[in-house]
Structure 1
Amino acid sequence: MIINKQPLPDDPAPSDSPPSYETVNADLAHAKFQNEKQLEPVNVFPWRRHSSATSSPNPTPISKSPTSSATKGNGKETSFWFPFKASKPTREVQATVLGLIRDLVKEQSQNPAASLAILESCAEACSGYDLTLSSILQEKSIEGHTPMYWAIVKRPPDGEEHGKSVPDLLTALISHATPLSPNTIADIRHACLLTSDQLLFQRLRMSPEFSPLSGTDEMLLGATIPPDAITVENVAGDEGAFTANFEVAYFQKRMLISKHVELDFIARARMWRLEFLIAESSKRRDAPRQGSWCISLSLLENSPPTWIDSRLLVPEPTLTSSDTLLSAESSPPPISPSLMDRLRSRPAKPKPTISIRLQSPQQLVAPLPGRTKSRHTKDFCSAIIVSLDDSMMGSSLQYT
């Protein structure tokens, strides 16, 4: 909380008192969120990036308004948002920064530019006291959670905002907090799960700051390949049923080189992971054969246990116009008609849809905190694992 007071005669601090949240320049326009059909990743501002760029364009930086800083006395620029003199101890500066951030998250200001100006001023003040705003933002200083957790919990889901993008406050908090620690990422994921905000979770998942690619996948996909797309729809009239649609880029190449593809999503108040992997050696009798391609379905952290009976459907991939053109250009013209030419001229018969059942023999449970996998017992199972070798149609995924 910022309190206005009269300056002391010898006070070196600026004579203008910091404005309250309500008195920020009224001419600042409210940020409008774009209504887009496709999900866009949460991008940090260009001056805060610590990871490789994504394929989508970076948001335009919002400059400080003229009221956020001024030149006083000796010509030094002083931020109006931070009311401390240089003589204040570091712990008091840190306490004030925490208080300002708490107020920002609690009030959820409708003026994004004002929130950005406050965070920028906090970052400048921290740099002068050997503090880092990134570490302060990742402290669980607000009722046992990070500011990003509360920014997610307090905001309406994307679906209730007519497809609007992520609010600038959350984007700014993540921008100043990067690089994110594993504990911070887990706290953000937990907030998305509690609010069942699948759309926001997918935006975050497509951000390299939140879900960085492995070095191998980064080399394979680069910056021009769109990320994996996941959409979830609840089945009307059934409280537990849902459908999830996955579009995976370079599936076979990633399986052959990276040897796994992980797809995380939120559905029915649970966080799920559908994973394609290559089986390793195991001493269990029911384990898949080493080297075989497998499908795994499991629950992730903080998800309640459940029974599940599902099917994975893989339709025949469709060729794009560029793929068709490339195929036509790469094939040399035939010298004379042959049997192969006549076979090629026939209309191709569509391949049947691959159908693989994923059913849990026991209740599916999520791993305990601090563990990546839960234990398999007679009453609970940690994951449903099916080998593609067990299905005649499923095994064709390795070659199609």
Structure 2
Amino acid sequence: MATNSELVDDSSTPPAYDTIFSASPIECDQSSVFSSRRMKNKRTAVLSRIRDIVLGPDFTPSSVVPNVNACAAALPAAEFFKILQKRNIEGHTALYWAIVNNRPQALWALNKFIFISGYYSSVCEDDLRDACMITTNHAIFWQLALGVRSEDTRLRYFLGCPSDRIQVHMYDEPANQFNVVLRIGMFQKRLRAPATSTTGDTKLIYEFVAGGRIWWLRFHMPDFTKGIWCVDIGLCWRSHPARLNAVLVIEAHSRKPGSTAPPEALKIPFSLTDTKFVALAPLKTDHPRPSNITWHIEKELGDWVMHDKTPYVDDEGTLNATLEITLL
């Protein structure tokens, strides 16, 4: 009996206080709530500081990097990455405002933390494209690789081909004329490569920013049954319609040793004159496209793409060309 009494007494002894605290589900839930609240407060504080960096009136370039680094250190990397990718500052991303307000120090300091992850969300990329378009900033558009296609990047990598170079120069601002200078490495080899798309269309597409719009220029063979290489020009989504006269001038290089007269450049005009169309507009639009508006202007490029001794690439296989555009 004594043994039973001792067992009863032991079972009635209350456990230690710290044991109750650690085991209590209520306390665990409260701890989780407090942790969530602290994280929310941190996110709010970080977003507020980033907003000041890209929108605040008292912008000090030298303070940008320390402030951005402090923001990044206050949150887990994944949380900071999410904040930068969302339209959470006056309906846009932080990077959008850094471009629009011409604050390159803020742009590159913030972009570094997205670049580490290697990609932009679709929302962020659209916002960046819009920012470059409304500021007509091709340099940043190109540096952010917004017009680069992954399939072409892979092909260049496997071929050991250097990056292409696309530059935009204002030729005559009052006349609204600008030149797009293209340097495309291994031009023939890349076009001749087997098609990777389901349409069977081997193509090289380049995007550039000019005249408050984002344009594209494409080299391709649209119909394999005809075997004709073409080049066409158009506008990217969200760009305003345009009326233009343009000519693509492809440099020619002498292939004959001792030749005194260089061959003439190849000139391919783009114009809507003598057509039923009055302007160019994006293929994808938010509104129905009128019947007198076209989504591209296409011209024949020629069969020289398949010629090994063509004068239209240099000795290294690089195509050098200038697209001269006048907006009407």
| TM-score, normalised relative to structure 1 | 0.57
* Cα distance, 1:375 vs structure 2: 7.5
Q: Which residue of 2 aligns with 1:193?
A: 133
User: Would you say 1:292 and 2:208 are equivalent positions?
Assistant: no
CA distance in 2, matches of 1:278, 1:260: 7
Change in CA separation of 1:195 and 1:346 when aligned onto 2, cut-off 3 Å: closer
User: Would you say 1:110 and 2:60 are equivalent positions?
Assistant: yes
Moved over 6 A (4+): none
Q: 1:272 aligns with which of 215, 220, 224?
A: 215
Change in CA separation of 1:317 and 1:135 when aligned onto 2, cut-off 3 Å: farther
Q: 1:168 aligns with which of 105, 126, 147?
A: 105
Change in CA separation of 1:303 and 1:318 when aligned onto 2, cut-off 3 Å: farther
Higher relative contact order (CA 8 A, sep 6+): 2
Residue identity matched to 2:292: D
Change in CA separation of 1:87 and 1:143 when aligned onto 2, cut-off 3 Å: closer
Q: 2:122 aligns with which of 176, 182, 197?
A: 182
Instruction: Say how many residue pairs are matched.
Output: 260
Q: Which has the higher helix share?
A: 2
CA distance in 1, matches of 2:167, 2:280: 22
Segment drifting more, 289-298 vs 246-255: 289-298
User: Would you say 1:148 and 2:95 are equivalent positions?
Assistant: yes
Change in CA separation of 1:225 and 1:138 when aligned onto 2, cut-off 3 Å: same
Identical aligned residues as a percent: 25
* Cα distance, 1:290 vs structure 2: 4.4
Q: Which has the higher strand share?
A: 2
Q: Residue 308 of structure 1 contacts residue 359 of structure 1 at CA under 8 Å; is this kept in 2?
A: yes
User: Would you say 1:356 and 2:306 are equivalent positions?
Assistant: no
CA distance in 2, matches of 1:345, 1:139: 58
Q: 2:83 aligns with which of 136, 148, 166?
A: 136
CA distance in 2, matches of 1:186, 1:318: 43
* Cα distance, 1:169 vs structure 2: 1.8
Which blocks of at least 5 consecutive residues in structure 1 are unaligned? 1-84, 157-166, 282-288, 320-343, 389-393
* Cα distance, 1:118 vs structure 2: 2.9
* Cα distance, 1:176 vs structure 2: 1.4
CA distance in 2, matches of 1:309, 1:111: 41
Q: Deviations over 1:362-390 (max 9, x none)?
A: 110124458xxx977531100111233xx
Q: Residue 375 of structure 1 contacts residue 382 of structure 1 at CA under 8 Å; is this kept in 2?
A: no
> What's the Cα RMSD here?
3.0
- Highest Rg: 1 or 2? 2
Q: Which residue of 2 aligns with 1:380?
A: 293
* Cα distance, 1:212 vs structure 2: 4.9
Change in CA separation of 1:197 and 1:384 when aligned onto 2, cut-off 3 Å: same
Q: Residue 227 of structure 1 contacts residue 249 of structure 1 at CA under 8 Å; is this kept in 2?
A: yes
CA distance in 2, matches of 1:94, 1:367: 39
CA distance in 2, matches of 1:115, 1:144: 22
User: Would you say 1:214 and 2:127 are equivalent positions?
Assistant: no
CA distance in 2, matches of 1:348, 1:124: 64
Which blocks of at least 5 consecutive residues in structure 2 are unaligned? 1-33, 196-201, 311-328
CA distance in 1, matches of 2:131, 2:73: 29
